[in-house]
Structure 1
Amino acid sequence: MHSTRLSVEGMTCASCVGRVERALKGTEGVSEANVNLATESAEVSFDDAVKVSDLITVLDKAGYPARVEELVFDVEGMTCASCVGRVERALAQQEGVTEASVNLAAETATVAYLSGVQDAESLKKAIAKAGYEAKPRIDREAAPENRKADEARALKSKLILAAALTLPIFVIEMGGHLIPALHHWWMMTVPEWLWRMVQFALTAVVLAVPGCVFFAKGIPSLLKGGPDMNALVALGAGAAFLYSTVVTFWPQIVPMGAQNVYFEAAAVIVTLILLGRFLEARAKGQTGEAIRKLAGMRAKTARVERAGEVIELPIEEVVVGDVLHLRPGEKIAVDGKVLTGDSHVDEAMISGEPIPVAKAEGSPVIAGTVNGEGAMTYVAEKVGADTMLAQIIRMVEEAQGAKLPIQSMVDKVTMYFVPAVMVLAAVTVVIWFAVGPEPALAHALVAGVAVLIIACPCAMGLATPTSIMVGTGRAAELGVLFRKGDALQALQEVKVIAFDKTGTLTEGRPDVTDLVTFSGDEEALLAEVAAVEAESEHPIARAIERAAEARGLGLPEVDKARAIAGHGIKAEIGDVSLLVGNMRLMTREKIDVTAFEAPLAELADQGRTPVLVARNGEAAMVLGISDPIRPASRKAIEALHARGIKVAMVSGDTRRAAEAVARDLGIDHVEAEVLPKGKAKTVEALKESHGAVGFVGDGINDAPALASADVGIAVGTGTDVAIEAADVVLMGGDPSAVVTALDVSRKTMGNIRQNLFWAFAYNAALIPVAAGVLYPSFGLQLSPMLGAGAMAMSSVFVVSNALRLRRMRAAI
């Protein structure tokens, strides 16, 4: 199976989404197609029998062409026409390339390719494989692309023209209804036939120029039997215009009482819907703000060592192994490792921590982070699409393009919605023409047009994807990446969140937390113990070394040391003999352990690991070693409890140590002494007893549990294996980000439900009003112009409501 992501043009409402999905799924060999209105993209899974070109043809036939982009390469090494042919063939054979043109004189290659299928890097490699070196021409000063901003500008121009032409008609016609004196004066001043001709001319221009998009897209979709929102507008405005045109030029065809014109309705409908689309495009442009911010973090150039010189190159030309020079205040161009120099780097974009991180020789550096006060050199280890920033952007894009389970219900409704509305409009016209008040034809026409205009399913189609885009984008800014879009819906349903202990709730690094000295100078004794432990590779040995280093202690030279497996170390420093280890070592060496008993009992209650020290045959010191709890763990668990979530902890540690941590943090359920395979079984048991489970972990041994949980949450400071197995990634190591992820999920799903309620309630309430259900009792009939305004504003409301999610803050 293969999959690809196509960028699709021309979709305006939920019925468009359904049409594109049906067209793609109807292609033999396509197993799945998910179309997203907000991102204007289609994710397609297909087998070997299908080519991407086949999918492009299907989209073209459906009336929704795939978006094509163009890129120019400077190509080196071409000397003749056969070189040109070779490069053109190499490019043309790449999936998604629609056209390739090579110019020998200019030494350039111009490539047209499907947006989302190809990129500069893969095309560059294709040219290199043909034997030529290529460099993409990229405007270094250009801001990240924002198609919605361009669309909004184009719509603004159309709106201004439509409004300028519509305003005279609206003022005279509506003003005449509101101010009878104005109506009488106008009728006495301007002949009715002349005014109708002026209205006809102005409205015709409105429909033919700024409003042509509705007819150019709507009529073909209607003829193909798959009407969309454009078809509704085209039918509504077109019907009003045609009826008025007949009354203007052939009044004898229409009964005397029905010789009214509705040019103002047709013109105002188009103008108001253009206004709605303009506002919607502006608002939708803001939904992708998170991606643009992330893309804006990329460095555009880098100072690279080449042939003994340091030269400035576009970021696209940096390759793995290059040595880069970094000045104070510059952005780091690619992921790498420091070779020389030291500095502090602002990594808030990755970890969310505001405090700059110290960097020295051997320290990792991440693309997009900002260097502080020092100059450094570093070697490139990951470039292009492999950098952490590129992966973050890709995760956010994939999450934003996801289709949640809740969307399937909307898709089923909108599949039949537009045809049902057209049938309802036709029924409305027939009923009012048969039983309506005089002039019945005019009354029926107004009611039918109002139904067509007010029932556009735009708001339904935008309700879910816009909230997903804004919610997942804002989550990324808060340090939470939803790798899989459906996790956004699943996380709000979890009843219990289980944490791995080591490295998730704790720092993952043992430290000396207790020091009890029975005799002698504490610091001198600690220095001797640290010197002995320097011979060991055990993590506890490193903890004791760090404790001595923190006090600035110099370590004496060890004359003799011997490790005793399972017991500890026996050593000599000058005329001092030392035993460092557990109780078994002390018993074996016949040390009086009476002094050890009280501190040992206390450390056991606290779940800490004891290290016993005897000096010259006598009990001298007890060190308590533990993995410190992260500062934010307690607040995170309190916040989860406040949100009605039960908290469990799964650990491979001893039960006593695990229960001590659980007591300290207020955890509800503890599973201790669990092997990696057992963690997945524990998750399954929690599912059976509590319901949906979220699991938070950071290590390779957590991968099975992350995969088996309803929502796997990986701490971003953990291993790649854990991150790959997870549905949600916390970019920092702070467990409070789990609460932020839960809040994002709940608020985003709440926002989706609000949008869906509005979209469905709006149609459920106003379609009957437009059809005239209130007319018999109250004499009220909805004007098509008010319907157009209400319909346009419904989409703007949905998108604006989704944008409120941008105000979300970190939970703690």
Structure 2
Amino acid sequence: MNEKTYHVRGMHCASCAAIITKKLSAASGIDKVDVNLATEEAKVSFRDRGLTDSEINAIVGKFGYELSSEEDRVSGTGDISSEKKGRNTGTTAFAEKQEQLKQQRRLVSFSLPVAMAVFFLMMWDIASTVFHSMPHMPLSMEVFNGITMILAAIFIFKIGRPFLDGIMLFIRYGAANMDTLIGIGTLSAFTYSSLITIFPSFREMLSLPSHTYFDVSIVVIGFVHLGKYLEARSRLKTGEAIGKLVGLQAKSALLVRKGEEIEIPVEEVRKGNLLLVKPGAVIPVDGIIANGSSSIDESMVTGEPLPVDRKEGDPVIGGTINRQGSFTFTALKVGSDTLLARIISMVEEAQGSKAPIQNIADRIASIFVPAVLVIASLTLIAWLTVGTAFLGFPAALSYGIMGFTGVLVIACPCALGLATPTAIIVGIGKGAEYGMLIRNAESLERLSSVDTVVFDKTGTITIGLPEVTDTGSLDGNSSPDELLMLAAAVERYSEHPLAGAIVKAARSREATLPEITGFEAMEGIGVRANIGELPVTVRKPGAEENGLPVIQALLRQGKTVIIVEKGNRTSGFIALSDTIRDGAKEAVGELRKKGIRIIMLTGDNPASAGYIAAQAGIEEVIAGVLPVEKAEKIAALQKEGRTVAMAGDGINDAPALARADVGIAMATGTDIAMESAGITLLKGDIRKISQAITLSKSTMRVIRQNLFWAFIYNIIGIPLAAGALFPPFGIFLNPVFSGIAMAGSSVSVVSNSLRLKAKKLH
């Protein structure tokens, strides 16, 4: 059995995904189909005899979809394929989605203002009918009908063409999606209204009311297109995280051959090649240092902000940055075998494995559409048979047509189309007001059921930058301020990242840094210089210092300790560490009050992780894990039945953020983390996580209420529109009141959604 991934064109709702899955699954030679609406991809697993791309498209093409296959990832010796890069960075499918979004924006920029204006006039007309003290519209009904008839024709046959295609899809193949429902409702309203407008004698002959429903068609199509545009805009960024991860890879490498340096494309690097890495360069592939030493920034892998010293025999990771010193290393893993390539693969897999949000309206469309058609048809038949026997044919026909039209009009899915988008729009706006950028409705929905929050340490619980935390004398003659001043004077000329933290700490105490001479960097050891006649050395602790209780205590806390020497004597120490964010402990407390399980998951060492976790009030800690393992830990929690939110800020967190049910990124972190996450917290304030969960639960509650209001009018109104009250009471729900009921459901939905604006988040 082999598997192939396709990009899907023409898919825009959950029903579309269901149709593709159903039709392909039934085809001979296909074992399994997994269609992902969010990524617009379909993974097809074939049996022994696979189907060609042409055969695949012959199956789904008649339903309006097209599947295009991707090039396989280059394995073993190459980089990720150029086609794969292109797909995620601006060509082929991504470019098509951008163009489609522009087209939808143009449609919405025209249709939405018109729909809102017509909706306002529709409400005015209904209100003036009910409340006689209210003035009538400034337009006569004849003029209003003429204008709205022209607009409705444009909306249905031009802007709403996909909805008409949905009707044909249902008629020809029995496959119904949301477009089918919208198309039947709007076309029925338009057809009925056109008949009684163009042929008034027909209306008078059958004693039909003069009220039209052109406005219904316009409003429904306008607001549904708005929802489609918002959804498409949020899905456009699907592949950007992968494209940026690909961009982290080195483009070239320095190959050492017979004593010469030869620059070659990274794709040409082979296992066993000897490569040279200069200061500031990106390490091209994974390997082991053969000669030399350096300080390497591995934060993209481990999340640890402090660079690590690497020497001969130590491993190096492709995509990390060489901060200090030159070295040569032997390539061991290249192409798709490198750790960075595996991270890219894991993000892709995690994104593809997520089930897209299943809109309730889409899920029931296949049942609701035929049910409404059956009810409307049975209504007409009942009036023409039973009604004729009691009322005569003319009266029965009149009631039958009104009943048939009334059922279709009252079932028009305007409120159904507004139920989710209005709540999501208000909820996302409320989140932005509180400093929470919510990327899509799926993330907002999933967050409402989160019962476990997993925090990265560095840059999430902590600030993500080293700071001086302790300064102390070891000879009894040096003050902390003097030690800091001497160290900063020397470190001011160092390239090591810790040097900046020491200089910053000294200047924060308004220390005046003296001039130095004879500066010397000692690779893997430290730096030294002369301040006047006094030699000063800033270095790593030796075996003697590491045995001191005060140094051991600092190391157990996960802090980095450096020694300051005056002359040839050890004078004192300076300790540096990442520090906990303001509000971290408060954030943990708020989540715990909500009954949420809290875990710290970090690539840091256990001592450092445990120390920070204790400060934040986190009891459950998993330390020393690589990005691959982070995602595996998230998956293990999900297998336990947990709904997991992952909060992180680094490139190393990208696989876990994508794997989690909800990824939460810090805006203070990397772009990769933010692209992999569904929610971004401005200013990196993790106290917003508790507020985001509150907002999510409130928004989902409003959506459920909206769906109730959207359907309650149908549940009550359809029998009334069909004439259920006529036999016992002689009451018939005129299509005018069907329109009022439809409008009432829309008003209920919009008003209910606006309540979120006043919601207090805590």
* TM-score in same-fold range (> 0.5): yes
Measure the CA separation in 1 of the matches of 2:92 and 2:479: 74
Q: Could you say which residue in structure 2 is the equivalent of 1:406?
A: 358
The code of the aligned residue for 1:117 comes to: E
Q: Could you say which residue in structure 2 is the equivalent of 1:519?
A: 477
Aligned counterpart in structure 2 of residue 457 of structure 1, from 410, 413, 435: 413
Describe how 1:81-100 pairs up with structure 2 within 5 A.
none
**Retained in 1: the 8 A contact 2:587–2:687?**
yes
Distance 1:655 1:414, change over 3 A: same
Measure the CA separation in 1 of the matches of 2:479 and 2:231: 63
Q: CA RMSD in A?
A: 5.8
Alpha-carbon shift at residue 651 of structure 1 (Å): 2.7
Measure the CA separation in 2 of the matches of 1:742 and 1:417: 32
> Is residue 655 from structure 1 mapped to residue 611 from structure 2 by the alignment?
no
Q: Could you say which residue in structure 2 is the equivalent of 1:714?
A: 665
Measure the CA separation in 2 of the matches of 1:44 and 1:689: 28
Measure the CA separation in 2 of the matches of 1:631 and 1:498: 18
Measure the CA separation in 2 of the matches of 1:686 and 1:115: 34
Q: Could you say which residue in structure 2 is the equivalent of 1:262?
A: 208
Give the gaps of 5 or more residues in structure 1: 9-13, 37-41, 63-93, 97-112, 121-143, 179-197, 252-258, 295-398
Aligned counterpart in structure 1 of residue 506 of structure 2, from 542, 548, 560: 548
**Retained in 2: the 8 A contact 1:723–1:729?**
yes
Q: Could you say which residue in structure 2 is the equivalent of 1:700?
A: 651
**Retained in 1: the 8 A contact 2:613–2:621?**
yes
Distance 1:415 1:662, change over 3 A: same
How many aligned residue pairs are there?
Answer: 575
The superposition leaves residues 121-159 of structure 1 with CA deviations (integer Å, 9 ceiling, x where unpaired) of xxxxxxxxxxxxxxxxxxxxxxx9664453255458878
Alpha-carbon shift at residue 232 of structure 1 (Å): 4.4
Q: Could you say which residue in structure 1 is the equivalent of 2:617?
A: 666
> Is residue 794 from structure 1 mapped to residue 752 from structure 2 by the alignment?
no
Alpha-carbon shift at residue 787 of structure 1 (Å): 0.8
Alpha-carbon shift at residue 665 of structure 1 (Å): 1.3
The code of the aligned residue for 1:515 comes to: T
Alpha-carbon shift at residue 667 of structure 1 (Å): 1.5
Distance 1:421 1:4, change over 3 A: closer
Q: Could you say which residue in structure 1 is the equivalent of 2:574?
A: 623
Distance 1:600 1:780, change over 3 A: farther
Q: Could you say which residue in structure 2 is the equivalent of 1:682?
A: 633
**Retained in 2: the 8 A contact 1:559–1:571?**
yes
**Retained in 1: the 8 A contact 2:115–2:219?**
no
Distance 1:450 1:429, change over 3 A: same
Q: Could you say which residue in structure 2 is the equivalent of 1:530?
A: 488
Distance 1:452 1:156, change over 3 A: same
The superposition leaves residues 631-674 of structure 1 with CA deviations (integer Å, 9 ceiling, x where unpaired) of 24334333333433222112333433322221221123112333
Measure the CA separation in 1 of the matches of 2:696 and 2:434: 13
So what's the TM-score if we normalise by structure 2?
Answer: 0.59
Describe how 1:79-228 pairs up with structure 2 within 5 A.
116-117=98-99, 147-148=107-108, 150-152=110-112, 154=114, 209=150, 212=153, 221=167, 224=171, 228=181
Distance 1:720 1:284, change over 3 A: closer
Distance 1:54 1:481, change over 3 A: farther
Alpha-carbon shift at residue 786 of structure 1 (Å): 0.7
**Retained in 1: the 8 A contact 2:431–2:437?**
yes
**Retained in 1: the 8 A contact 2:443–2:679?**
yes
**Retained in 2: the 8 A contact 1:580–1:613?**
yes
The superposition leaves residues 301-336 of structure 1 with CA deviations (integer Å, 9 ceiling, x where unpaired) of xxxxxxxxxxxxxxxxxxxxxxxxxxxxxxxxxxxx
- Percent identity for Structure 1 against Structure 2: 31
**Retained in 1: the 8 A contact 2:452–2:642?**
yes
Return 620-629 or 714-723, whichever deviates more.
Answer: 714-723
Give the gaps of 5 or more residues in structure 2: 45-51, 66-90, 133-139, 175-179, 238-350
Measure the CA separation in 2 of the matches of 1:791 and 1:247: 25
Distance 1:413 1:674, change over 3 A: closer
Measure the CA separation in 2 of the matches of 1:455 and 1:605: 68
Aligned counterpart in structure 1 of residue 708 of structure 2, from 757, 763, 766: 757
**Retained in 1: the 8 A contact 2:379–2:404?**
yes
The superposition leaves residues 446-488 of structure 1 with CA deviations (integer Å, 9 ceiling, x where unpaired) of 4333322211233334434554555556656766555676434
The superposition leaves residues 579-614 of structure 1 with CA deviations (integer Å, 9 ceiling, x where unpaired) of 6556645459xxxx8xx64x5576467654444445
Measure the CA separation in 2 of the matches of 1:562 and 1:148: 62
So what's the TM-score if we normalise by structure 1?
Answer: 0.56
Q: Could you say which residue in structure 1 is the equivalent of 2:596?
A: 645
Measure the CA separation in 2 of the matches of 1:284 and 1:774: 36
**Retained in 1: the 8 A contact 2:223–2:417?**
no
The code of the aligned residue for 2:358 comes to: I
**Retained in 2: the 8 A contact 1:505–1:633?**
yes
Q: Could you say which residue in structure 2 is the equivalent of 1:691?
A: 642
Alpha-carbon shift at residue 548 of structure 1 (Å): 2.0
Q: Could you say which residue in structure 2 is the equivalent of 1:499?
A: 455
Aligned counterpart in structure 2 of residue 273 of structure 1, from 216, 238, 250: 216
The code of the aligned residue for 1:460 comes to: L
Alpha-carbon shift at residue 731 of structure 1 (Å): 5.7
Distance 1:159 1:680, change over 3 A: closer
Distance 1:248 1:219, change over 3 A: farther
**Retained in 1: the 8 A contact 2:654–2:672?**
yes
Does the residue aligned with 2:465 lie in a helix, a strand or coil? Answer: coil
Alpha-carbon shift at residue 625 of structure 1 (Å): 1.9
